[in-house]
Amino acid sequence: MRLATRLLSLCTLAGASACTATGPVNAVPNLSITEPENDTEYRAGEPFSVVAAASDDGGVAGLSFDWDVSPDPEVDGHTFVSETEAELYFDAGLPEGEFDIAVVAADYAGETGQDDVHVIVEANDAPNVKIQQPEDGEIYELGSPIIVEVKVKAKDDDMSAITMVWGGIAEGVDEAPSTPPDDGIIIFYVEDVPDGKHELVVTGRDSGGAAETETVEFRVR
């Protein structure tokens, strides 16, 4: 029995005139996960946050938060606390599987509030990247523009969510797009390539971090 409850009982036995005041009653912290919804699906490696709305008569700043992920994914999340919320952020996502994520808020007196959510993490397939031109081993005449043609096929994302990273002769070329068009076909020219052996390197990376890289080598003479 807490002290405040015991004082109320004594006052009742002695009569109302025996007591004029009681100590404040400590409220249990209020805690509710607002994001994500239960059974939300993510892809392996996709960043996401678990957000819990919190309130307490002593203020959220006075609460301590304890997060638990089961089964243990052996991946650390980053925790943040504001005036109204507590957040657990997985910047590298979670591995494939199903996880229960629970949070417990405790106040200075040891009173606790808690909530949990179930999430499903599915396998993440990297986008398919295929260099159509130049062909591996192709020979160009000096002064000829090099046609770059790349075909990208998205598996888990819209095209707009895929990031293209260019290397070799396409590195730093303004015409090399940072995302593929809706049809996935990228075409541009690279001019003033000197004689010698060269390569084109291209990587397509989705929003979950899955990536595929292809390289071809060719010669200018």
Average pLDDT over residues 167-175: 96
pLDDT at 88 over 70: yes
Q: Classify the C-alpha dihedral 52-56-60-62 as positive or negative.
A: negative
pLDDT at 21: 52
- Whether the pTM exceeds 0.85: the reply is no
What are the Cα distances from residue 217, in Å, to 103, 110, 201? 53, 66, 9
- Mean model confidence pLDDT for the chain: 89
pLDDT at 6 over 70: no
User: Does the N-terminal peptide bond of residue 36 adopt cis geometry, omega within 30 degrees of 0?
Assistant: yes
Please determine whether the domains at 27-122 and 128-220 fall in the same fold group of CATH.
yes
What are the Cα distances from residue 212, in Å, to 18, 33, 151, 186? 79, 36, 12, 16
CB 98 within 8 A of CB 69: no
CB 33 within 8 A of CB 112: no
CATH 3.40.50.1010 fits 128-220, yes or no: no
- Determine the Cα–Cα distance for residues 90 and 117; give it in Å rounded to an integer: 15
pLDDT at 22: 60
Domain boundaries defined on the chain: 27-122, 128-220
DSSP 212: E
CATH 3.40.190.10 fits 27-122, yes or no: no
